[in-house]
């Protein structure tokens, strides 16, 4: 496949600042480059049961460690460092640099494989609610298939990033995991379908979630987070995450 055109990044930056999110129609990576990243992630999901329990989480109900229902792997690039060498990683970095400026750092990444035909809604939230360091940041959501509304594409509330962090409610999900969430009226949300080769990006303060996968194949997505926070805060964040990991949170 011929290399697609690089995205009009400054337009993306403008949209993220004004509306809190943007659709990037093309990351400028080839199908083979996407496949390389997906193969590495597939490898991680295939050894889900061997990963630490707090890093390989089942978002669904009734599965086992060997056969999770809605598997999510946290810190994918820690367990599979070759992900950091992929064209997709570099492309996501380019988008983050465009939006946040030259001093961006990758802080975290995770991937969710949502099977078809299950509820599997991702609750409304702000990423900042999960990061008490409140880094100024950006998430780049990369799908490995065309993702239409019925496949569970990302959903955003325009301009919701402008008012900072709002208090989240806490509920215990069906599998016993605690989940922060926001109540959002459906009519205030915008669905953002995304084709293979593109991405959606959002500010850490943007209200977002994702619909159920009512399509016919697994909805695979890799989410890469970037931040401009200075080194001492990034170190503090790493230490805090390691401590939470030790106590199983
Ligand atoms: O992929 C999804 O379903 C949601 C991802 C998301 O909300 C996040 O990474 O914060």
Q: Could you tell me which of 85, 210, 236 has the C-alpha nearest to residue 152?
A: 210
Residue 113 clears pLDDT 90, i.e. is over it = yes
Percent of the chain with pLDDT over 90: 73
Average pLDDT over residues 23-41: 98
Q: 46, exposed or middle or buried, with CB in 10 Å at 0-12, 13-18, 19+? A: exposed
Predicted local distance difference test score (pLDDT) of residue 46 = 97
- The HSE-up count of residue 155 (CA atoms within 13 Å, CB side) is 22
Distance 210 CA to ligand 1 centre (A): 7
Q: Is the CB of 23 under 6 A from ligand 1?
A: no
For residue 49, what pLDDT is reported?
96
CATH architecture of 9-246: Sandwich (2.60)
Ligand 1 atom, smallest distance to 225 CA: 9
**Residue 89, pLDDT score:** 98
pLDDT tens per residue, range 141-157: 999 999 999 999 999 99
Interval 110-133 mean pLDDT? 87
Q: What is the pLDDT of residues 161-201, one digit of tens each?
A: 998 999 999 988 766 777 889 999 989 999 999 999 999 99
Q: Confidence class of residue 132 from pLDDT cuts 50, 70 and 90?
A: low
> The tokens of 22 are what?
């943007």
| Any atom of ligand 1 within 6 Å of the Cβ of 202 | no
In which element (H, E) is residue 107 found? strand 105-114
What confidence score (pLDDT) does residue 6 get?
Answer: 67
Mean pLDDT of 75-80: 97
Average confidence score pLDDT of the chain: 90
- Closest protein CA for atom 2 of ligand 1: 210
User: Mean of the pLDDT values across residues 76-103?
Assistant: 96
- pLDDT of residue 25 exceeding 60: yes
Give the number of other Cβ atoms within 10 Å of residue 177's Cβ.
12
Closest CA to 45 of 34, 56, 53: 56
Say if CB 155 and CB 209 are below 8 A apart: yes
Mutation choice for ligand 1 from 118, 122, 201, CB with most ligand atoms inside 8 A: 122
Confidence of residue 67 (pLDDT cuts 50, 70, 90): very high
Q: How far is the centre of ligand 1, averaged over its atoms, from the C-alpha of 5 (Å)?
A: 26
For atom 9 of ligand 1, which residue has the closest CA?
223
Mean pLDDT, to the nearest integer, of 207-215?
A: 95
Residue 240 has pLDDT above 60, yes or no: yes
Mean pLDDT of 32-53: 97
In the chain, where does DSSP find H-type helix?
A: 9-19, 31-46, 76-79, 87-100, 231-246
41 lines ligand 1 (CB under 6 A): no
Q: Whose CA is nearest to atom 6 of ligand 1?
A: 209
- Determine if ligand 1 sits within 6 Å of the CB of residue 34: no
Identify the pLDDT of residue 9. Answer: 62
- Which residues have a Cβ under 8 Å from the Cβ of 20 and sit 6 or more positions away? 156, 157, 158, 159, 160, 161, 162, 202, 203, 205, 206, 207
**pLDDT of residue 119 exceeding 70:** no
Is residue 126 lining ligand 1, measured as CB closer than 6 Å?
A: no
Helix, strand, coil % over all residues of the chain, rounded to 5: 35, 25, 40
**Nearest 5 degrees, angle CA 194-CA 220-CA 98?**
50
Contact 41, 76 (CB under 8 A): yes
Task: Decide: 182 in ligand 1 pocket, CB within 6 A.
Answer: no
Give whichever of 55-59, 156-160, 172-176 has the largest mean pLDDT. 156-160
Q: How far is the CA of 209 from the centre of ligand 1 (A)?
A: 6
Provide the token pair at 34: 């996407």
CB of 112 sitting under 6 A from ligand 1: yes
């409304």: which residue's tokens? 124
Is residue 25 within 8 Å of residue 7, measured between CB atoms?
A: yes
Q: Is pLDDT at 238 greater than 80 in this prediction?
A: no
Ligand 1 atom index nearest CA of 127: 10
pTM: 0.91
CB 171 within 8 A of CB 179: yes
| Stretch 204-227: mean pLDDT | 95
């Amino acid at each position: 496949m011929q290399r697609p055109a690089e995205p009009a990044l400054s337009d993306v930056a403008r949209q993220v600042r004004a509306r809190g999110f943007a659709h990037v129609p093309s990351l400028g990576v080839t199908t083979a480059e996407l496949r390389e990243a997906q193969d590495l992630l597939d490898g991680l999901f295939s050894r889900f049961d061997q990963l630490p329990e707090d890093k390989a989480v089942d978002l669904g109900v009734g599965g086992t460690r060997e056969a999770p229902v809605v598997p999510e792997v946290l810190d994918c690039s820690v367990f599979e460092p070759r992900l950091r060498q992929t064209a997709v990683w570099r492309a996501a970095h380019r988008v983050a640099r465009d939006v946040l400026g030259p001093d961006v750092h990758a802080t975290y990444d995770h991937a969710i494989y949502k099977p078809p035909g299950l509820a599997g809604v991702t609750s409304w939230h702000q990423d900042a609610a999960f990061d008490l360091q409140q880094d100024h940041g950006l998430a780049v959501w990369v799908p490995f298939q065309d993702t239409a509304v019925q496949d569970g594409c990302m959903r955003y509330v325009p301009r919701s990033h402008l008012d900072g962090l709002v208090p989240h409610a806490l509920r215990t999900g069906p599998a016993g995991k605690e989940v922060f969430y926001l109540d959002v009226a459906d009519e205030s949300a915008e669905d953002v379908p995304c084709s293979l080769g593109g991405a959606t990006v959002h500010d850490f303060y943007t209200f977002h979630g994702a619909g159920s996968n009512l399509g016919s194949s697994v909805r695979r997505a890799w989410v890469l987070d970037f931040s401009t926070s200075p080194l001492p805060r990034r170190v503090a964040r790493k230490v805090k995450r390691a401590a939470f990991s030790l106590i199983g949170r």
